[in-house]
Chain A
Amino acid sequence: MRRVVITGAGTVNALAHDVPGTMAAMAEGRSAIGPLAFPDVERLTIRIGAQVRGFDPLAHFEPAKLALYDPFTQYALVSARQAMAQAGLAEFADPTRWGVILGTAGGGNSTVNDAFRAVFAEEKNRVHPFTVPRLMNNAATSHVSMEFGLMGPSFSVATACASSNHAIGLAFQMIRAGMAEGMLAGGSEAMLNFGGLKAWEGLRVMSKDGCRPFSATRNGMVQGEGGAVFVLEDYDHARARGAEILSEIKGFAMSSDASDIVTPSVEGAARAIAGALADARLAPEQVGYINAHGTATAANDRTECAAVRRAFGPAADQLMMSSTKAMHGHCIGGTGAVELIACLMALRAGVIAPTIGYDAPDPDCDLDVVPNTAREVRVESVLSNAFAFGGLNAVLALGRV
């Protein structure tokens, strides 16, 4: 089977609008969570989040094209441009051997919110003519394929909070199986608007005051927005063209809990973790770091720690596991892609991003969660966990090259 490597990375998220800025913020342990600013925020109970700020769409897109781009598409396109620039790919020998797989949960949620506001609140009888092509979940994937002329297998994945990991994992499998020479993969989300947050508020899993993963004082998730896109490439192809290799994707596994629409399962999560280790042919002792799903809900963090213990056995006490969501927020369908940047930082720079906001140990989360301060440790292999509402789990395994 072919080996698959990452040769480019790009991102727009609340911490920064590029990869170096995001890594710097993660290494500093900086949080982008703050008061939300958008129309009708005063009618929400939850008024904090990690919003993308200072992003000027007109600095990136022509006005005529911008009319077709919901923010989730804008974040994906800008991320893809950065990734392609880093990969140094200007053109493809055979563009039918390159495709795009992006994850998103809400798709053009801001566009939906704007259209509903127009017809229901403002009592208008028309919405913008591009409402449908802006809101469809595959809009970001399609625009990325058009911008770079990628003519191979391309589609969007919607598995809630695991969308990006599923997208990256599928792209990895396609290249490994020889179905594609390279793929752009990742995901994006932009649900921080009145309607989007109001829906989340109803579930009563959000925190009013902050994101504190694995801490005994945690009281819920805090939502973020943004995304990240990576260039995945056949190892031999990357070597032949002299590309800089950022890391290797060594394995991927998916599982379904088949049990509950919101409550996570130790067994399902542990199967995905163990599956990724097996697919990557890694022994538990070889993994130095896990980027946790770590949503800071009571249920996820407890379940995730138990799942890691079940899959790793005694080796669980040797590894570091942090949740970066206290910094960039929970970017839902884009979160696995943003979090892969922490994995690249661990493998490339030997810097382990911390779990910030940690203020009290929880006996149910008794792993080394790298509390509050980044750590310099050389690691050879890492995992990235994503566990979605609906019990759909996706875990990636990466290694140094």
Chain B
Amino acid sequence: MLRLAGGRDIISEASILFNSTDKRIVSIKIAFKLFASLTDYLPPDRKGNVVSLDIDPATTVAELIRTFRIPEMSAHLVLVNGVYVPPAKRAQTQLADGDELAIWPPIAGG
């Protein structure tokens, strides 16, 4: 189970992930940020564009994208601590305690 930091369940089907009270695996805490139209994939009572998550230390970027049901094509700009993670590396990129994962759909401006 994936939990918001503080213990409230938000997604129950992700068997790869464990909550912070599960004694088998010590969880890590990350900041998960979704922007622009992806904001809708965050819990409805979110504050701003960020939620704090307790996750399994082995969790990859790709797993988290799937868990939140973000369409693959919409996860265009994926940054871990501000550094771009290309699509080919998302399945191998594991998150570490204190990481910030931020995702945008295709966007531009000027």
Q: Are A and B bound to each other? A: no
